A and B are shown apart, each in its own frame.
Chain A
Amino acid sequence: MSIEVHNISKTFGDFVALKDVSLRVETGELVALLGPSGSGKTTLLRIIAGLEEPDEGSGPIRFQDEDVAGRPVGARQVGFVFQHYALFRHMTVFENVAFGLRVRPRISRPSKAALRRKVESLLKLIQLESLAGRYPNQLSGGQRQRVALARALAIEPKVLLLDEPFGALDAKVRQELRQWLRHLHAEIHVTSVFVTHDQEEALELAARVVVMNQGRIEQTGTPDEVFHSPKTAFVMNFLGHVNLFRGRVKEGKICFAQMACDAPEHAPRSAEAVMVFVRPHDLEVDTQRNGHPSFAATVVRIYSAGPNVRLELIADCGDQIYAELPQERFRALAIGQGSRVFVTPKEIKVFAES
């Protein structure tokens, strides 16, 4: 079931959470809403679920071309998974998962036997069959979240919405559940939207990432697109590590860090101030000038533990830079703290200063 929202705005008192947001999610897609706190991602998710109401004048919310904006949350057939699980503490795992089926009106309620079978198959799916009789407070965080997921899936939702589902878990458990969710989605193919502020999670899990900031959507695209072809300065800055320079456009060249290089295609034409972003791994470091536009810098610190080596540099123009090189390249250069180097940006992204 596809999801479509048009022109959604939401204000809480003085605070504007969403400003005229429109989005489409295809059937069976796994989409991430990524952004910092206050970007409006959770609000958008809750509006899709029906847990919040958009402001007057907002457009329709369509599930498979049917406007559900007027429907209460219980009638939208969404499965919602909360960051802190929201399990029913006084019910066993079995009863938690069965809840959605038990509260159905008598006509559509499954028989006791059918209910039992359904719950058991779900428990098998989440690999917790042996814990059916336990209470939530006897489970680990990861197990609780899996129960919450099973509970949401029990009602056979057309849309699955997850609000920072792994946010409350340890790093290792988070990793495991990430993998597990991906496999689950591959198996059951339900349209899923999840909210996260963890970019690694979004880039790893989602088929499409929606980057949000201050109530607006900055960019939607595949993880590859948003990472390598960011459309706005915010997206560039938010994803991955980045070096920021301030520069000017002059006669088709970008001038920054006491050097000038050819302006990339996407750069603005006029001579206003611009922001130049370069990723650490797109900086080439050498002990001498090599003919390409480069700037001089001094090595301040070397972080060599890890797959690559990170260099903390001070450019002659005063900017603090981080460069990343493979271990062999670093060894070949034979530089140490205080060495003079020349840095060549291989790929830059230029955005007008807003």
Chain B
Amino acid sequence: MAGGIATRLAAREQVPSAAAITESAVVRWMLIGTGLVFLGLFLVTPLVAVFAQAFAKGVGVFFAAHWEPDALAAIRLTLLVAVIAVPVNTLFGVVASWAIAKFNFVGKNVLLAIIDLPFTVSPVVSGLIFVLMFGRQGWLGPWLEAHDLKVIFAVPGIVLATVFVTFPFVARELIPLMQAQGTEEEEAARVLGASGWKLFRRVTLPNIKWGLLYGVILCNARAMGEFGAVSVVSGHIRGATNTMPLHVEVLYNEYNFSAAFSVASLLTMLAVVTLVLKSVVEWQNNRQRALAAKPAAQE
């Protein structure tokens, strides 16, 4: 969703559609019906199913599934990975979008394509790459073994794989946004004497705060929910190298359905919160833009 906020947050006004260019009521409701049925079937049903299965055996079982040591370890690991991957990639996102959006230089398109790479690569392939680098038969494998360091089948590998996979999210949100906002305000501030960090903090940051928040939310959702890449590098060692999604898989494969869905519902709630936060961010951004546009309209 490149530039999700930059392009979509243009306030979506309700244009009253004149009768001449609107379909008949029958056609309209048929289309709405079809769309809703499709979404209900493909989106709502799975959502409901997660919670239904999670609580199928009662609330007690629901909580028990989480209190169990392996589950807690998985939750801890997931949080650890997110706490490392998100800030690191956010910092990169901000720095990179400053360099890319505010300056013109040769090779910009190439850089943009490279940044987009992890987004287009299959998660399993991403995981494979890290195995090829740090695995026992990997490039750095012998060196790591000699120093008694484990990356693959250990936490560092999981962190690395997650960082790789969630790498573009913040940058992809900020770059189009900052490009759309241009460099005028920053240049004006510079002329008035503002230095680097001050300039960024007081001029750029307020303008990009919603896009930044949006990118961070998405980055976090992906970091906590990443499955494919982590699956390859983790080794599935219970209690040690299982993140929450992997733990869900383990439980499911053991036919422990209600436990699997219980942990899954926790992740689902995170997803719902992500969607809600995204809506709030969009609404706030629309409001900010509407307020900014108002004085001109009153002239």
* Contact residues in A for B59 (Cβ distance below 8 Å): none
How many of A's residues come within 8 Å of B, CB to CB?
8
Interchain CB contact under 8 A, A50 and B20 = yes
Tell me the minimal C-beta distance from B299 to chain A in angstroms. 13
Interchain CB contact under 8 A, B16 and A51 = no
* Contact residues in B for A12 (Cβ distance below 8 Å): 16
Chain A positions 80-127 with a Cβ under 8 Å from a chain B Cβ: none
* Contact residues in A for B19 (Cβ distance below 8 Å): 52-53
Interface digits, B17-34 against A, CB 8 Å rule (1 contact, 0 not)?
011100000000000000
* Contact residues in A for B18 (Cβ distance below 8 Å): 46, 51-52
Interchain CB contact under 8 A, B20 and A73 = yes
Q: Taking the complex as formed, is A133 at the interface, i.e. its CB lies under 8 A from any CB of chain B?
A: no
Interface digits, A50-73 against B, CB 8 Å rule (1 contact, 0 not)?
111100000000000000000011
* Contact residues in B for A46 (Cβ distance below 8 Å): 18
How many angstroms from the CA of A50 to the CA of B20 in the assembled complex? 7
CB nearest to B21 among chain A residues: A51
* Contact residues in B for A50 (Cβ distance below 8 Å): 20
Which of B16, B18, B20 has most A Cβ within 10 Å? Answer: B20
How many angstroms from the CA of A72 to the CA of B16 in the assembled complex? 18
Chain B positions 1-58 with a Cβ under 8 Å from a chain A Cβ: 16, 18-20
Tell me the minimal C-beta distance from A38 to chain B in angstroms. 14
Chain B positions 178-216 with a Cβ under 8 Å from a chain A Cβ: none
Tell me the minimal C-beta distance from A73 to chain B in angstroms. 5
How many angstroms from the CA of A46 to the CA of B20 in the assembled complex? 10
Interface digits, A282-317 against B, CB 8 Å rule (1 contact, 0 not)?
000000000000000000000000000000000000
CB nearest to A72 among chain B residues: B20
Interface digits, A132-163 against B, CB 8 Å rule (1 contact, 0 not)?
00000000000000000000000000000000
How many angstroms from the CA of A46 to the CA of B16 in the assembled complex? 15
Chain A positions 1-18 with a Cβ under 8 Å from a chain B Cβ: 12
Tell me the minimal C-beta distance from A141 to chain B in angstroms. 24
Tell me the minimal C-beta distance from B23 to chain A in angstroms. 12
Chain B positions 147-197 with a Cβ under 8 Å from a chain A Cβ: none
How many angstroms from the CA of A72 to the CA of B20 in the assembled complex? 7
How many angstroms from the CA of A53 to the CA of B19 in the assembled complex? 7
How many angstroms from the CA of A51 to the CA of B20 in the assembled complex? 5
Tell me the minimal C-beta distance from B296 to chain A in angstroms. 16
Tell me the minimal C-beta distance from A234 to chain B in angstroms. 23
Tell me the minimal C-beta distance from B184 to chain A in angstroms. 27
Tell me the minimal C-beta distance from A324 to chain B in angstroms. 31
How many angstroms from the CA of A53 to the CA of B22 in the assembled complex? 13
* Contact residues in A for B20 (Cβ distance below 8 Å): 50-52, 72-73
How many angstroms from the CA of A139 to the CA of B149 in the assembled complex? 68
CB nearest to B16 among chain A residues: A12
Chain A positions 26-57 with a Cβ under 8 Å from a chain B Cβ: 46, 50-53
How many angstroms from the CA of A73 to the CA of B18 in the assembled complex? 11
Tell me the minimal C-beta distance from A36 to chain B in angstroms. 16
Tell me the minimal C-beta distance from A31 to chain B in angstroms. 22
Tell me the minimal C-beta distance from B15 to chain A in angstroms. 12
Tell me the minimal C-beta distance from A149 to chain B in angstroms. 20
How many angstroms from the CA of A144 to the CA of B16 in the assembled complex? 27
Tell me the minimal C-beta distance from B24 to chain A in angstroms. 10
Tell me the minimal C-beta distance from B14 to chain A in angstroms. 11
* Contact residues in B for A72 (Cβ distance below 8 Å): 20
Q: Which 5 A-B pairs give the minimum distances between C-beta atoms?
A: A73-B20, A51-B20, A53-B19, A51-B18, A52-B18
Known: A51-B18, A52-B18. 9 other contacts (CB 8 A): A12-B16, A46-B18, A50-B20, A51-B20, A52-B19, A52-B20, A53-B19, A72-B20, A73-B20
**Residues on B close to A: CB < 8 A?**
16, 18-20
A-B contact pairs, 11 of them (CB 8 A): A12-B16, A46-B18, A50-B20, A51-B18, A51-B20, A52-B18, A52-B19, A52-B20, A53-B19, A72-B20, A73-B20
